[in-house]
Amino acid sequence: MANIRILVYVIRRVFDGASWVMRWEKYIAGIIWFVYALHVLGILPEVAEMLDSISLPLGKAHISVLTIGQGLLSVAATLLIAMWMGRELERRLMSSQMMDMNVRVVLSKISSVLLLIIAIVIALPLVGIDLTVLSVFGGAVGVGLGFGLQKIASNYLSGFIILLDRSIKIGDLVQIDNRLGTISSITARYVVLKSADGTEALVPNDTLITSTVVNQSYNDKSVWVSLPIQVAYGTDLDFVLELLRSTTEGEERILKDPAPNALVSAFADSGINLLLGFWLADPENGQLSLRSSLNLKIWRAFQEHNIEIPYPRREVTLLNSAT
């Protein structure tokens, strides 16, 4: 019973959040209980002997169904333990507040890879595979990386470069290929870019290295936002500018320092162009709702003080040609 609970606990910790774990718990428990029952009844040695008698001819080596089963169980158990240790180490690193987020992500990824390599090195001799075979396998992998896997290898290498140079961090507001969003996750192969509408884009790490990335949160995440307004000629500009500044009061997302400002931008054909500018503290939450709130305040203020918002119009003069 204790072995079942330990195995299920390890699987839950390794595959945290996977829906199939809950469904397979009873099957795993049933298999363990079945093997235990065979052992208690004394049938397990006979079953093992029968499986060992079913062999596959492969040169001088004796490979039976029992050998294959034992090898698969050894490899699975070793990898499962390594993955569990990697997950536990990752949880401890990510919960630490003493290190930068990028450093924690790099250390967790490197530790997981090292643990898996160690697990493979331990598991291969258990199956009966000589480690000298890895030299041939390593050469084949090198050829594969040089041709078919070059792009994948580039993405993995780029991921570690991004994490080490700290150019992009989780929570940064960035613009990549005309897509604006917040970095919600950084993996070894790609980053997850979450837009204001909730959609998530998986951007390969190689794209972040080879193309221009606009990081609006590199040093300071606050951004400058401006609202264009037009008023009619003959309007008291000093009063309107002060009125526009007052509409930003009470908006918690707008920074008080630097203070919002209203400016005269141009004298257009139909009216005078003005700008209401301010620094937005949390651009990752979008701008549409804030722009709508400010536009409503400006509209109500203009209605209250009879300030005209002009629209394009033309004056036509008819000349009397009669003499």
Which range scores top for mean pLDDT: 14-28, 121-135, 300-314?
300-314
- Nearest-angstrom CA–CA distance, 75 and 118: 12
Q: How does pLDDT run across 66-118, given as a tens digit for each residue?
A: 777 777 777 777 877 787 787 777 777 777 766 666 667 777 777 777 887 78
pLDDT at 10: 62
The average pLDDT across 149-155 equals 72
- Nearest-angstrom CA–CA distance, 205 and 159: 5
- Nearest-angstrom CA–CA distance, 264 and 240: 10
The average pLDDT across 128-157 equals 65
Task: Give the pairing of strands 190-194 and 200-204.
Answer: antiparallel
Q: How does pLDDT run across 191-207, given as a tens digit for each residue?
A: 899 887 788 889 988 88
pLDDT at 78: 80
Residue 4 pLDDT more than 60? Answer: no
CA-CA-CA-CA dihedral for 55, 59, 62, 65, to nearest 10 = -40
Q: Can you give the residue ranges of every domain in the chain?
A: 2-128, 132-220, 223-304
Q: Which of 223 and 298 is assigned the larger pLDDT?
A: 298
Task: Report the topology of domain 132-220.
Answer: SH3 type barrels. (2.30.30)
CA distances from 157 to 120, 151, 153, 204 (A): 22, 10, 6, 11
Mean pLDDT of the chain: 78
End-to-end CA distance of the chain: 116
Task: Report the topology of domain 223-304.
Answer: Alpha-Beta Plaits (3.30.70)
Do the domains 223-304 and 132-220 match in fold?
A: no
Which amino acid would we find at residue 172?
D
Q: What percent of the chain clears pLDDT 70, i.e. is strictly above it? A: 75
- Nearest-angstrom CA–CA distance, 66 and 45: 11
pLDDT at 322: 59
- Nearest-angstrom CA–CA distance, 109 and 132: 27
pLDDT at 15: 62
Q: Which of 296 and 138 is assigned the larger pLDDT?
A: 296
Task: Evaluate the omega torsion of the peptide bond into residue 258 and state whether it is cis, within 30 degrees of 0.
Answer: yes
Residue 298 pLDDT more than 90? Answer: yes
Residue 61 pLDDT more than 80? Answer: no
Q: How does pLDDT run across 26-52, given as a tens digit for each residue?
A: 776 677 677 777 767 777 777 777 777
Q: How confident is the model at residue 284 (pLDDT cuts 50, 70, 90)?
A: confident
